[in-house]
Structure 1
């Protein structure tokens, strides 16, 4: 009886989902180690400076994921508004003079001793948790009334405004796209959706043309070779990295573009260095890993939906939208498919906050998969 009780309390993880997340973490560690060696040696007199920090970030992120895995989804349902409020406070704090840290004209980080916290990453997770709870509780209002649909839209607009003040256009796009994707999946009236989506797109276009540097990025994206040593420099160097990789790559550690040709080689453009060193084959493996991970998360979400656990389903769909959106944008920017914008590659790019949030969101999905193996308590169906 005791063994049976323990097995019910600690059921095994979804092996495929856990292994896919672990595989991406390993790829990230290898990619960061290779891409940052020369940069770390030049700036910190230690070739393994970023590798050691990334290992520490992974340890913290996995620990955070373990903690999140212990939290039942019903707790997230009850406290969604609190996480949203916490994210809002952090987004306001990062904008206060003397509180937020300014890097290259962007005030996106909160210094915490030797580390920094990026509130925009936490905001993505908080938005998913809040919207999943709202769409579960207010399903009828969202589908049948303008007021029920507009409340989450106003919340998203407030977050988007704070993110744009930083400015963080990439995070704004991901938060807005995830929110609209979830509301569409919740069955909102198509007319409501089209009107608000159209206004949002028009607002984003206006924001692009309101800042000269965003217009410059757009023009550089359409023809980077017109100014290969100026506005098109990053994209040109990234495309050179892809070209050098060919089919099988130049070999791990043998990248030329990471030798101070490609800026941000271990952060925003780590996929370019990976493609140069491992070629089309290595780049394809990473893409397939993301496709498998996102597909598995959607599968868990579908199972939750069929079991009438709408909150759990929306959590899964939201996590899948965040991961797929960021992966698509990051790899699209690196390959010249999209204009340049600073977004991390989930589980791979260098950055502690991103790793912690990614592992936490994956842990939420793993927890949901665990709970789907157990009968649902009647009291957990609706929380007002």
Structure 2
């Protein structure tokens, strides 16, 4: 169905050593694991520091974040053991599930509202951020579509269908409102299309209307226009729309090269809102300095390098769905990181996007980690195929 070579490593042979290389014979990518666990560890440390003035009980929130991290490690393991065919053959099902959740979150009484945005569904004691799920569903759909329609996706009609589906997702996200998530979703999927060598002229035709639509959304929305003005002139609006940005910039200035020391931030003392979520990078900058920020950036660069390598290897093995899915996951994580860095540094307007694996939050950490597990699964299949080819010769 996906024009991929027969995979000798089906669900039954995957765990048997006697039938060739199995999953227990191959090591996980150490670079991905190192970057993931390091970012999670930094996250626990900085969430504990940044949340102390809010909770008055840092131990409680540290334990909660630690539980999220532990569950996320299990999510990585679960993704590794789930057959990749479950995602490739059921992308339509996952897409419908994601769209249904996006509709449900908009219904009062079902969607959970926080700070004027209805982005969460509360199930018992668990609150799920739907936008994180829909990013993964959208990436899977585009990866599957490009493989199933590889003979036609380079035509105008061929590229319209996935764009229409993505547009529906983006509109539903904007109704929450979650402008940042819609931008990351669209950009990640366009990145997959670029790696699939979709013609440049289609990108031009896609991007021009998108830019025009973004401008209209900003200028006809008082909320977004205020954010834009706070971004362009933060010091003139330092008591209203530019307040978060000016406080974040002060944290960077105060931190300097080496920081003021772990736990010694002043900006987290009710000056900087969302210090443990969207603006945790500013607290890292204040307490650990430029050195700490560069360390976090270096871990993401390591993740990007290995992720792109894994995707490239999958493409060389003619496993196109795996390659496109890997590219999408890497673009998603890195784009969200870049947006978060840009917001904290005053290079982008505030978007409400957390720093992956570092910011406080359960559902985003779990879903991002599950996506990394899929990436590691793709890497394992690459290595198994290489070992199988060597043993044949």
State the TM-score, normalizing by the size of structure 2: 0.91
Task: State how far apart, in whole Å, the 2-side matches of 1:205 and 1:347 are.
Answer: 31
Once the 2 structures are TM-superposed, how far is the Cα of residue 289 of structure 1 from its aligned partner? Answer: 0.6
Task: State how far apart, in whole Å, the 2-side matches of 1:196 and 1:292 are.
Answer: 31
Pick one of 266, 278, 281 that aligns with 1:268.
278
Task: State how far apart, in whole Å, the 2-side matches of 1:5 and 1:34 are.
Answer: 50
Structure 2 gaps, min length 5: 1-15, 387-393
1:90 alignment counterpart: 101
1:209 alignment counterpart: 219
| Residues 139 and 186, structure 1, Cα contact 8 Å, conserved in 2 | no
Residue 47 to residue 181, structure 1, CA distance change in 2 (3 Å)? same
1:69 alignment counterpart: 80
1:27 alignment counterpart: 42
Q: Return structure 1 stretches of 4+ with deviation > 4 angstroms.
A: 2-7
Once the 2 structures are TM-superposed, how far is the Cα of residue 309 of structure 1 from its aligned partner? Answer: 1.0
Pick one of 136, 148, 155 that aligns with 1:125.
136
Could you list the per-position Cα deviations for residues 280-300 of structure 1 after superposition, in whole angstroms to 9, with x for gaps in the alignment?
101000001101101110011
Once the 2 structures are TM-superposed, how far is the Cα of residue 189 of structure 1 from its aligned partner? Answer: 2.1
Structure 1 gaps, min length 5: 377-384
Q: Which stretch of the first structure deviates more once superposed, 60-69 or 319-328?
A: 60-69
Alignment of 1:35-50 (within 5 A): 35-41=50-56, 46-50=57-61
Is the aligned partner of 1:100 residue 2:107? no
| Residues 308 and 326, structure 2, Cα contact 8 Å, conserved in 1 | yes
Once the 2 structures are TM-superposed, how far is the Cα of residue 180 of structure 1 from its aligned partner? Answer: 1.4
Alignment of 1:1-384 (within 5 A): 8-10=22-24, 11-41=26-56, 46-143=57-154, 145-375=155-385
Once the 2 structures are TM-superposed, how far is the Cα of residue 214 of structure 1 from its aligned partner? Answer: 0.6
Q: Secondary structure at the match of 2:119?
A: strand
Q: Secondary structure at the match of 2:259?
A: coil
Q: Which stretch of the first structure deviates more once superposed, 282-291 or 11-20?
A: 11-20
| Residues 251 and 283, structure 2, Cα contact 8 Å, conserved in 1 | yes
Could you list the per-position Cα deviations for residues 91-118 of structure 1 after superposition, in whole angstroms to 9, with x for gaps in the alignment?
0110011110111211111012222101
Q: Which stretch of the first structure deviates more once superposed, 132-141 or 282-291?
A: 132-141
| Residues 40 and 48, structure 1, Cα contact 8 Å, conserved in 2 | no
Once the 2 structures are TM-superposed, how far is the Cα of residue 74 of structure 1 from its aligned partner? Answer: 2.2
Task: State how far apart, in whole Å, the 1-side matches of 2:281 and 2:209 are.
Answer: 33
Task: State how far apart, in whole Å, the 2-side matches of 1:62 and 1:112 are.
Answer: 22
Once the 2 structures are TM-superposed, how far is the Cα of residue 53 of structure 1 from its aligned partner? Answer: 1.4
1:381 alignment counterpart: none
